[in-house]
Amino acid sequence: MKYVSTRGKSPPILFSEALRQGLAPDGGLYVPERYPTFPPTSHTSVLEGGFAPLFQPWLEEDPLQEHLKEICEAAFNFPVPLTFLQNDTAVLELHHGPTAAFKDFGARFLSECITRIPNLHPGLVLVATSGDTGGAVAAAFFQKPEIQVVILYPKNKISPLQERQLTTWGENVKAIAVHGTFDDCQRLVKAALALNATEKFSNLISANSINLGRLLPQTSYYATSSLKYLSQRGKSPGYIIPTGNLGNAVAALWAKKMGFPIREVILATNSNLTLSNYFRSGSWSPQTSVNTLANAMDVGNPSNIERLIHLYAHFQALSQDVRVISVSDEQISRTIAKS
């Protein structure tokens, strides 16, 4: 399996190299040349195989393929319950990892992969966070031999608890407060990765969802939960996904593309209206992010929009599978008060 850039101007590379580069030399994000498909006859093996069968075709011909089973066993060692509330409504519980964030799936998978890539010398892992990504990456890479982690976060724009999750590790993890927004932090990471492509920082690795190794493992819980839902309710589920940098949403749509029984995907956003405006007009126009109560979703220019647009040949096809719902701070406060 080879991976190409969403911008189409970089040569195809294997999975390990895509993880090492993070960002393609042309500035695009890596996507597969073709998407593996899983017909219904293979679904049982995916459910019973501990996630490894799902990722097997993504790592074809890659040196990490022989380590895939141990990578999955080390990364996904916590439960992922699908809890039904009433009738056909269920909650997919993604908070049972070490930092109580769904980012634990991707961060731990990336960490286990990075430490097994042959001939990868001591490196620097760089990540921008709007709240929960940084903590998950810190936990996943803490005390990993010869790997340093630097977390960039927007000063005074995350909660005190989130800040403690970023700043109290020590040893090989360092957190830096940036005077700006998450988009500014993300811009710094992308600029560093652009220098990485020129070999100035030859061992710099991104741990944001722009990195294929952070996003791919998130397809696992959509693939498996859709199969569990189908077996219990006799129909395919739709998903409502809180959305910031769009990695989690793209993971769900990749699972759908692979043939898993997923119906509609609804992107739940806050007062950052970039996605809402796009789905209303069909024209992409990034905006400056604004501060909200749901700070982990305060993103005005989500990186994974490139993968989302690349996945669909036409905007009409995208809008048939995906909808966006925006919620204001007032609605958030009112809902919390009723709970």
Catalytic residue numbers, as ranges = 103
Q: Of 226, 227, 239, 186, nearest to 23 (Cα)?
A: 186
> Can you say whether the dihedral through the CA atoms of 291, 297, 303, 308 is positive or negative?
negative
Number of H helices, E strands in the chain: 15, 11
Question: What is the spatial distance between Cα 157 and Cα 209, in angstroms, rounded to a whole number?
Answer: 20
Residues 6+ apart with CB under 8 A from 144: 111, 114, 115, 172
CB 252, CB 236: distance < 8 Å: no
Residues 6+ apart with CB under 8 A from 32: 1, 2, 3, 4, 58
Q: What DSSP element (H or E) covers 103? A: helix 103-114
Instruction: Quote the DSSP letter at residue 322.
Output: E
Dig out the tokens for 44 from the structure.
Answer: 């049982």
CB 31, CB 307: distance < 8 Å: yes
Question: What is the spatial distance between Cα 52 and Cα 286, in angstroms, rounded to a whole number?
Answer: 37
Instruction: Quote the DSSP letter at residue 237.
Output: P
Q: Of 295, 311, 316, nearest to 219 (Cα)?
A: 311
